[in-house]
Structure 1
Amino acid sequence: MTDMGKGSDKGRILLSVTDWDPEVWRAEFAKAAPDRPIVLAPDHPGDETIRYALVWKQKPGSLANLPNLKAIFSLGAGVDHIFHDPHIPDVPIVRIVSDDLSMRMSEYVVWQVLDHHRLGPRYRRQQQARIWHEDRRQPAANEVTVGILGLGVLGRDAAEKLLALGFRVTGWSRRPHQMEGVETFHGKEGLGDFLAGADIIVCLLPLTSETKGVLSMSMFARMKQEGPLGAPVLINAGRGGLQNEADILAALDRGLLSAVTLDVFEKEPLPADSPLWTHPKVTVTPHAAASSAPGALVPLIVKQIEAYERGEPLTNLVDRNAQY
């Protein structure tokens, strides 16, 4: 067996990330758990010293052949990136759940809901055209229904913040959920009523085989068409794979949607020739809704590992069948 290494009998932690600077994460783990060596790759196939893997868009096969791997931790809010690897070992997968991540997402959702509610895109166009005033009534928050697709941890936190501002809030989820102050719908049978009642729809769904491409013309055609904001507004801060961008553009041009905010895209970075960049009814942000902050998330992961090694169960486990 390889030396446990390099100074620890607790086993080593594999940090397998792409698109991010791994040294930032390794530095935070060095502060939070100085007795746990962090490596960026196994020493060799079958490395027995690796006990845990921390991943974001790991390279396919990078977690295979680790006989003593105990758990995989996602470093981002979603876990669909993990399942892109066909060689995922059969060990528990843990979602990251943190107050910091929830607050960042709620800030984004509230920002964009308020921007559309208070006619921000319209006023920016007026500024560019040097138009001082257009007569248009501003609805109150309690006249506007914000529907949240996905009532997980992030969706519920955003709902609480929107309720505090006076909006009517509804929510849809795959399975039944109850939330005080929120009218909830679930399953295929509840989706139609949910869509027909919302003026602004915020999508925070996980990306799975069932939700891929769900933000499409078939959904837009079922949405409420006459409300205080006119046609409905769509905000997607979930995953780019949830949306059909050609259908979004067509729905805007047909008036099925009045405006959209997109933080995620089918292809990232968003190609320079994408019409989304310049469409007057589209707000683009660069996958910035809820960035993972190593300083906030690393201590939570270390705490989970320490609890697990004391014999306590892991929390926030991913359902492999549902893929979230």
Structure 2
Amino acid sequence: MIKALFSAPIDKWDKYEAPLHAAFALKGLQVDLSPDHAAEDVDYVIYSPHGPVSDFSSFTKAKAVLSLWAGVEKIVTNPTLTQPLCRMVDAGLEEGMIEWVAGHVLRYHLGMDAHIVNPDHHWVPAVPPLARRRKVTLLGLGALGAACAKTLASLRFDVSGWSRRPKDIAGITCFSGDDGLKEALERAEILVLLLPLTTETENLMNAERLGWLPKGAFLLNPGRGALVDDEALISALDTGHLAGATLDVFREEPLPQDHAFWPHPKVTVTPHIASETRAETAAMVVAENIRRSEAGEPLLYLVDRTAGY
């Protein structure tokens, strides 16, 4: 019998127990799933941050740590973690991110805020350009970034993307490396941040790089809060260089009530809802990775420790 430890905040157990058992059954796995297994008996750790496990040194039998989060910055540098680590890539995460990104890109493209909040009943028939005339850039072309880029391209936006290493995605103008970053940002009328948080990407959008964006650009950050220098962003908004920002992730969450983002007229705060791991779809990814491990097949979404994702 395979023993799997569910190491996540206890309120997640009720959401995940039934979907995980159902997924194991579909994959033909006999799994003893519990939040209470002794570490030395565990074959797999199903993990999310803020759960009970932070020291993995006692999990001497564990064949893999299977994260329920797409981001792994809270665990990837843990010195006690010697087991293979897999991040979460699943349909629910992808669909949720696509919907959030597409919705807010369309909101800014169409200038919807002026019509939704119009207490003085101003009649200003400003017609937006067609989507094919609007340049949207995504920083990050991993699974989520590529999916969002393809969706925006299907809506006929002029879409480009940047990644550290070269990518080739049909219908997307792809940039890479340090030289490509400036070119990607200089064309971004709407910028979407979907990079992982690493030592190289922390504060990537500082004052200099925000200055590379066209005047009047909009910024969307559903990736990681620390990708953006908060003070530099507020300054760029105050000077009018940027027209607006919608932020879903922050350095401290919940965002403190006294943070300058809350009252800023050009900032929209959404409470880390751009994409959430859905138990039903995530359970199938976890089960498939256990099946693969038991069959001696390569694990899905194995984290590169040197790259940090």
TM-score bracket, shorter-length normalisation: over 0.9
Percent identical residues: 35
Q: Look up the match of 2:153.
A: 163
Q: Distance in 2 between matches of 1:141 and 1:197?
A: 15
Mapped to 2, the partners of 1:42 and 1:281 lie a distance apart of 49
1:175 matched to 2:165? The reply is: yes
- Match of residue 12 from structure 2: 21
* Cα distance in 2 between the residues matched to 1:224 and 1:106: 24
Greater CA drift, 52-61 or 298-307: 52-61
C-alpha distance in 2 between matches for 1:165 and 1:28: 34
Q: Give the partner amino acid of 2:148.
A: A
2:261 partner SS: helix
Of the three residues 287, 298, 301, the one matched with 2:272 is: 287
Counterpart contact for 2:7–2:53, Cα < 8 Å: no
1:134 aligns with 2:124: yes
> Aligned residue for 1:121?
113
Number of the residue aligned with 1:5: none
Cα-Cα RMSD: 1.7
Distance 2:228 2:37 in 1: 36
Query: What is the deviation of 1:302?
Result: 0.6
Distance 1:315 1:163, change over 3 A: same
User: Alignment partner of 2:138: what SS?
Assistant: strand
Give the match's secondary structure for 1:80. coil
For 1:14 and 1:208, how far apart are their aligned partners in 2? 28
3-state secondary structure, aligned to 1:76:
coil
Partner of 2:24: 33
- Separation in structure 1 between the aligned mates of residue 201 and residue 153 of structure 2, nearest angstrom: 26
User: In 1, distance between residues paired with 2:4 and 2:53?
Assistant: 18
Q: Distance in 2 between matches of 1:110 and 1:18?
A: 31
Task: Classify the secondary structure of the residue corresponding to 1:82.
Answer: coil
Q: Is the 8 A contact 1:245 1:266 kept in 2?
A: no
Partner of 1:64: 57
Alpha-carbon distance between aligned partners in 2 of 1:235 and 1:33, rounded to the nearest angstrom: 37
Q: Separation in 1 of the partners of 2:245 and 2:130?
A: 20
Confirm or deny: 8 A CA contact 1:237 1:289 kept in the other structure. yes
Name the SS for the 2:233 alignment partner. helix
Residue 186 of structure 1 is matched in structure 2 by 176
Question: What corresponds to 1:148 in structure 2?
Answer: 138
2:82 equivalent to 1:93: no
Q: Distance in 1 between matches of 2:121 and 2:210?
A: 31
**1:248 aligns with one of 226, 233, 238:** 233
Offset of 1:76 from its aligned partner?
1.5
Shift of 1:41: 4.2
Q: Which shifted more, 134-143 or 281-290? A: 134-143
Cα distance in 2 between the residues matched to 1:75 and 1:97: 9
Is contact 2:92-2:276 (8 Å) kept?
no
Shift of the alpha carbon at 1:82? 1.7
Deviations 1:188-230 (A, max 9, x none): 11111111111000000001111112122121011122xxxxx
Q: Confirm whether residue 109 of structure 1 aligns to residue 94 of structure 2.
A: no
Question: Any conservation in 1 of the 2:138–2:161 contact (CA below 8 Å)?
Answer: yes
Structure 2 CA distance for aligned equivalents of residues 274 and 152 of structure 1: 31
Partner residue in 2 for 1:304: 289
Structure 1 distance, partners of 2:207, 2:280, is 41
Which of 65, 69, 74 is 1:76 aligned to?
69
Q: CA deviation at 1:24?
A: 1.7
TM normalised by structure 1 equals 0.89
CA contact (8 A) 1:243 1:266 kept: no
Corresponding pairs, count: 304
8 Å Cα contact 2:237/2:244 also seen in 1 = yes
Q: Which has the higher contact order (CA 8 A, sep 6+)?
A: 2
Distance in 1 (CA, whole Å) between partners of 2:232 and 2:165 is: 27
Distance in 2 (CA, whole Å) between partners of 1:19 and 1:254 is 45
